[in-house]
Structure 1
Amino acid sequence: MQLHCIDCDSRYSISDFKYACSCGGLLEIEQDFKFLDSEYLKRKFEQRLSDRMTPYASGVWRYKELIFPELEDRFLITKNEGNTGLYDIERVNQYVGIKKIWLKSQSENPSGSFKDNGMVVAVSHGKSLGLDKFTCTSTGNTSSSLAMYSSLTNSQSYVFVPDKNISLNKVLQTISYGAKVIAFEGTYDQGIDFLEKYSGELGLYICNSINPFRIEGQKSIIYEIAQYLRWELPDWIVVPGGALSNVSALGKGLGDLYELGFINRLPRVAVVQAEGASPFHQMISKNKNELQPELQPKTVASALNIGNPPSWKKARNTLNATNGITVSVTDDEILNAKAVIDQSGIGCEPASASTVAGLKKLCESGQIHRDETAVCILTGNLLKDTEVLRQYHLECTENSLFANPLIKSKLNIESIKHL
């Protein structure tokens, strides 16, 4: 394993760990898979599905040979992350209008979001370096995941959150896990800049997506989808686009599986952003070479409320490798898709629902054919943002197409009969 700069092609030993290249470019983990036997690994991954009492019961460490083979087992942290459901729901199929759609419900992770897949690897790496002070800037899900794993390992986490346009539920979850939470005036992007400048001086190990070990852990999401589907992936993988770490990770995981011969073709990747926070979509749709940050991003989907996503170059590489596309959706489209997902018995936070909303929009525009198949990644739990639920169902407007308001009734048999 070594660190590879995606900009200047420089390489570094992982023992000389850093978050960015000397040229300023993002680093990624580079592994040599040429001595790995894919058929042997398939059998091993299958055997580990029956494991219950070791770290390999994890839906991340099940794939340790592809994620962090050099990490000693004594540093493997786990809370049985991964192992999340893959659901085929007819109601969602009909809403989108596509042949087959699966929902990968990352909300079933222990802290309630996909961040656990990457965070468990980042914190394990930090502990292997002898560190016990971890940090991140977050709009919510990253912070709660980091706080959970830090407390699990008797370490301290320092979390920086913008003081506006974030979910209080996620902040309360983070506080409850014991993190020191610093609410600052400014945006997510400014928080990232601060940590890049001062984390070393403060003695803090960064666990945001600029950390390449986060990306390695998040690759496991695509490994798990592929294994559940017997190594036959659908035509499309649809992903929400906030910081774009998930797009980067899933793209890297797809490349691994293809290189190793686990799959014989690459599915296409569709990245969905909210219209109020869509700098990546704007760049791609206008065929620009550089991302123009949105200084005041604003969307009801707080996890997508990022105007300068740090992983945009890696995400662009994913689109190039998979002939991928982007789309943006309105807040109303997100909330109505969310209501359909919630009422199908799965449930998700607003950012998650952007995938179903985006897939529906791409099908209606003809960019995705209705005879194709897709997996939509649902990134966070239904209860991550209860204020959105209250507004949609209890203060329902004409745009709340699937609102399910409270029914006020007298408690007698005749009143109840007529409901």
Structure 2
Amino acid sequence: MAKQGSRNLWQGVLCEWADVLDVTDASTVVTLGEGGTPLIESRVLSQVTDARVLVKFEGLNPTGSFKDRGMTVAVSRAVERGAKAIACASTGNTSASAAAYAAAAGIQAIVLVPEGRISMGKLAQSVVHGARIVQVRGNFDDCLEISKELAEQYPVHLVNSVNDDRIEGQKTAALEIVDVLGDAPDIHCIPVGNAGNITSYWRGYSLAETTGAATKRPRMLGFQAAGAAPIVRGERVLEPDTVATAIRIGNPASWQQALDARDESGGHIGAIDDREILKAQKLLASSTGVFVEPASAISVAGLLERHAAGEIPAGSTIALTVTGHGLKDAQWGLKLEDGSDAVPESADADTAQVAQLLGLA
């Protein structure tokens, strides 16, 4: 048994990575203990791809998604600058994170979401944390444009990933992977929605190489849902449509940065259809014990698609980011592969009957 008081409590991104986040004594740190998420080896994915596949489970951040890494920095900076309110556009995860960190900071969160296009789990988080929520009759891109105009014209601080503080905080996930592995992986698979996360990982890996913490940078493999794939198509998608609500974005704010990460790494950005996304969600949950929302499962589906295309060298070390917990969009976990509802079997309160039903008798 460890000696009492001998284990240090994780202090959150701004404290743990203060040396790369420009934290000063005057900084106002608003943290919920984000970061430090596990890197889990997937036995089945490793066997299927003949590689070493490790899953960075960002759903174990405080509000259930990777957004918390950037939000702690963005909200801390907002408070430091005297802001009394923050604003964001969101498909769900950003609003949940912004609402929680605003509550912790004692300031108001204003969140704009597309009407009828946000999961109840994510909306509930914004509600319970006390955010002022406006459902906009439009899509995410409309919400983001309005949020930017609000920040320009009124005393509110924008905390979407167009704010570089968000990218700075999110780069720490790449640094954690390097810290655990002792080097960068050969390949990194990641969902692409607004494209802030692929941008931040590339920044983190580039920093690790520059400082000598890593000897290389990985090939970045990003994946968009087929119904919301503007980067793949090379044009804005006016009505993005996919079960992967967190990446249902038609005009990514970090579009060019995503292309830079792809091109500089010799990587790839591809499109995956919803059926493959949902199959991958169930595969990861049933084989690795990691339950993620559909937008996260696209990393798994994308890896399998690239392997089938012969693009994954045997023996590679692959990091795979899953960005949000499955409880964020739990309805899809209740569906079978054919799309029907999962219905548990029933029995009387009788041991013999239960044993017979289970095939034990």
TM over 0.5: yes
For the pair 1:68 / 2:19, whether they are aligned, the reply is no
- Which residue type is aligned with residue 82 of structure 1? G
**Counterparts of 1:261 and 1:108 in 2: how far apart (Å)?**
29
Deviation string for 1:42-92 (max 9, x for gaps)? Answer: xxxxxxx9532xxx72244311111224x4355112111001111002133
On the 8 A contact 2:224/2:247 being kept in 1, the answer is yes
Match of 1:288 in 2: none
- Which residue type is aligned with residue 244 of structure 2? A
On the 8 A contact 1:333/1:357 being kept in 2, the answer is yes
Question: Match for 1:268 among 211, 219, 223?
Answer: 219
Instruction: Trace 1:372-391 onto structure 2 (pairs within 5 A).
Output: 372-390=316-334
TM-score by length of 1: 0.80
Question: Match for 2:115 among 147, 157, 163?
Answer: 163
Match of 1:368 in 2: 312
**Counterparts of 1:262 and 1:404 in 2: how far apart (Å)?**
47
For the pair 1:411 / 2:349, whether they are aligned, the reply is yes
Q: CA RMSD in A?
A: 1.8
Question: Match for 2:205 among 254, 265, 269?
Answer: 254
Q: Which deviates the most, 131-140 or 256-265?
A: 256-265
On the 8 A contact 1:348/1:378 being kept in 2, the answer is yes
Match of 1:240 in 2: 191
**Counterparts of 1:271 and 1:363 in 2: how far apart (Å)?**
14
On the 8 A contact 2:111/2:134 being kept in 1, the answer is yes
On the 8 A contact 1:258/1:265 being kept in 2, the answer is yes
- The SS at the match of 2:311 is coil
- The SS at the match of 1:272 is strand
**Counterparts of 1:145 and 1:191 in 2: how far apart (Å)?**
17
Q: Which runs of 5+ in 2 are unaligned?
A: 1-5
Match of 2:69 in 1: 117
**Counterparts of 1:405 and 1:186 in 2: how far apart (Å)?**
35
Match of 1:193 in 2: 145
- Which residue type is aligned with residue 112 of structure 2? F
Instruction: Trace 1:145-156 onto structure 2 (pairs within 5 A).
Output: 145-156=97-108
CA-CA distance at 1:98 after TM superposition:
3.4
**Counterparts of 1:234 and 1:406 in 2: how far apart (Å)?**
41
CA-CA distance at 1:413 after TM superposition:
2.6
- Which residue type is aligned with residue 217 of structure 1? G
Deviation string for 1:272-331 (max 9, x for gaps)? Answer: 111111111223xxxxxxxx1100100001001001011011111111221111121111
CA-CA distance at 1:342 after TM superposition:
1.8
Deviation string for 1:12-70 (max 9, x for gaps)? Answer: xxxxxxxxxxxxxxxxxxxxxxxxxxxxxxxxxxxxx9532xxx72244311111224x
Q: 1:335 to 1:212 in 2, by over 3 A?
A: same
Deviation string for 1:77-115 (max 9, x for gaps)? Answer: 211100111100213334x42311000000000011000
- The SS at the match of 1:387 is helix
**Counterparts of 1:301 and 1:60 in 2: how far apart (Å)?**
30
Deviation string for 1:154-199 (max 9, x for gaps)? Answer: 1000000001332111011111111011011000001111122232
Match of 1:202 in 2: 154
For the pair 1:326 / 2:269, whether they are aligned, the reply is yes
Deviation string for 1:369-389 (max 9, x for gaps)? Answer: 233221110100110012222
**Counterparts of 2:312 and 2:227 in 1: how far apart (Å)?**
23
Match of 1:93 in 2: 46
Question: Match for 1:313 among 256, 259, 271?
Answer: 256
For the pair 1:213 / 2:165, whether they are aligned, the reply is yes
Deviation string for 1:334-391 (max 9, x for gaps)? Answer: 111111222222211111110001000000011222332211101001100122223x
- The SS at the match of 2:313 is coil
- The SS at the match of 1:191 is helix
Q: Which runs of 5+ in 1 are unaligned?
A: 1-48, 284-291
- The SS at the match of 2:17 is helix
On the 8 A contact 2:112/2:147 being kept in 1, the answer is no
**Counterparts of 1:257 and 1:129 in 2: how far apart (Å)?**
29
For the pair 1:132 / 2:84, whether they are aligned, the reply is yes
Identity, % of aligned pairs? 31
- Which residue type is aligned with residue 120 of structure 1? T
Match of 1:174 in 2: 126
**Counterparts of 1:168 and 1:404 in 2: how far apart (Å)?**
20
TM-score by length of 2: 0.93
**Counterparts of 2:353 and 2:233 in 1: how far apart (Å)?**
53
For the pair 1:352 / 2:296, whether they are aligned, the reply is yes
Question: Match for 1:106 among 53, 58, 65?
Answer: 58
- The SS at the match of 2:56 is strand
- Which residue type is aligned with residue 148 of structure 2? E
**Counterparts of 1:98 and 1:330 in 2: how far apart (Å)?**
24
**Counterparts of 1:314 and 1:67 in 2: how far apart (Å)?**
20
- Which residue type is aligned with residue 38 of structure 2? G
- Which residue type is aligned with residue 344 of structure 2? L
- The SS at the match of 1:57 is coil
**Counterparts of 1:61 and 1:408 in 2: how far apart (Å)?**
50
For the pair 1:335 / 2:278, whether they are aligned, the reply is yes
